[in-house]
Amino acid sequence: MKNYRVNDLLDYRNNSLFLSITCGEKWLQRDIKTPEVNRLGLSLAGHLKHFPGDQVQLYGTAEHSFLEKTAPQKRKVLFEAIFKRFSKTLPCVVVTGNIKPFRELLESTGKHSIPVLKTTLKTSKFHKMAVTALEEYYAPMVKMHGVLVEVYGLGVLITGESGIGKSECALELIKRGHMFVADDVVTVKLRPGNVLIGSGEKIISHHIEVRGIGIIDIKSIFGTGAILDATKIELVIKLEEWNSVKEYDRLGIDDKTTDIIFTKVPEVALPVKPGRNLAVLIEIAALNQRLKQKGHYSAKILNEKLIEEMTSGKQGL
């Protein structure tokens, strides 16, 4: 995987970080190798022992106010101490809150080929959004074969052997008003809090392949209201050929899971057989999973009632 670069931060979600270039446009190819973001803070007072020189550096109101009381020559020395020492690793400096940076900062960064960006966002807001952007890119990732849809607000990954009917099933779900995310190759990233986010490949996004028909543009046929760029994966539906010998779960008391990037995700195996409406079954599985998330386990409740009824019946004999 290629490293994230400063110009990628500029372009993040159509510049949702409200960044612009103050100086150093020719150095925007510098790598950002870590998802962490640092405030210059105490480093401007000469404390560099544990300075993270490979992180994006923020220069905000607190830093600017501190340096206002410092003589220009002293500011030059402080900036040089940082940018000369970390000139090879420091990706960029971001000036927050529309502050006009001191000339000494621009001279020092320019001398050491470090780009300076500015944003209208306040430091705390930008810090949070920038970390999110970098974590999205550097999060643990795996590519999976399947179809990703959102059913009743629940992200459902449909898996199974090629030709089992995953795409056809997804089409029926889209026709029934649910959302399409990705077909064939699903990129899954692990976000903080053990949250799995699934998305499609950019080059084939919003397209689905159906054997006998070909490639279908979901956005063009069903409209923008039928597509999503990404969704949280909360349920896996595994389609498999019907096997008359195999014992299938008929009660649903025991919850089954599958591992995706060291994270357990609820999994339901649906045997494929002529006459079964898989789209409806997936809808029910999604609704049932939402109930489970709220602590309502239909099968367990019924089982407890049956046991209670049987126990009370024996006592009455």
pLDDT at 205: 87
Known catalytic membership, residue 314: no
pLDDT at 300: 79
For CA atoms 31, 36, 42, 46, give the dihedral sign: negative
Nearest alpha carbon to residue 150 among 250, 55, 227, 210:
227
pLDDT at 315: 56
Residue 84 DSSP label: T
Token pair in block for residue 284:
């029910």
Higher-confidence residue of 36 and 308: namely 36
pLDDT at 303: 76
Q: Name the pLDDT band for 299 (thresholds 50, 70, 90).
A: confident
What phi and psi values does residue 148 have, to the nearest 5 degrees?
Answer: -110, 125
Of the candidate ranges 89-93, 195-199, 303-307, the one whose mean pLDDT is the lowest: 303-307
For the chain, domains (ranges, CATH) are 4-137 (3.40.1390.20), 139-301 (3.40.50.300)
The residue from 50, 202, 250, 314 that is catalytic is 250
For the chain, how far is it from start to end, CA to CA, in angstroms? 71
Token pair in block for residue 272:
């494929």
Mean pLDDT value across residues 41-54: 94
DSSP bridge pairs for 182: 148
The residue from 166, 178, 206, 207 that is catalytic is 166
What are the tens digits of pLDDT across the range 232-289?
Answer: 999 999 999 988 787 777 767 778 999 999 999 999 999 998 878 999 999 999 999 9
The residue from 8, 31, 184, 255 that is catalytic is 184
Find out whether 105 and 115 touch, Cβ atoms under 8 Å.
no
In this predicted structure, the answer to whether residue 312 has a pLDDT above a threshold of 80 is no
Which ranges constitute the DSSP H helices of 56-209?
A: 61-68, 72-83, 103-111, 123-138, 166-175
Q: Name the pLDDT band for 1 (thresholds 50, 70, 90).
A: low
The rounded mean pLDDT for the chain is 93
Find out whether 115 and 6 touch, Cβ atoms under 8 Å.
yes
Of the candidate ranges 93-102, 112-121, 186-195, 303-312, the one whose mean pLDDT is the lowest: 303-312
The residue from 111, 128, 145, 305 that is catalytic is 145
Known catalytic membership, residue 166: yes
Whole-number percent of the chain with pLDDT over 70: 97
Q: Determine the Cα–Cα distance for residues 97 and 201; give it in Å rounded to an integer.
A: 35
pLDDT at 257: 94
What are the tens digits of pLDDT across the range 180-225?
Answer: 999 999 999 999 889 999 999 988 889 999 988 999 999 999 999 9
Find out whether 236 and 268 touch, Cβ atoms under 8 Å.
yes
Known catalytic membership, residue 250: yes
Known catalytic membership, residue 178: no
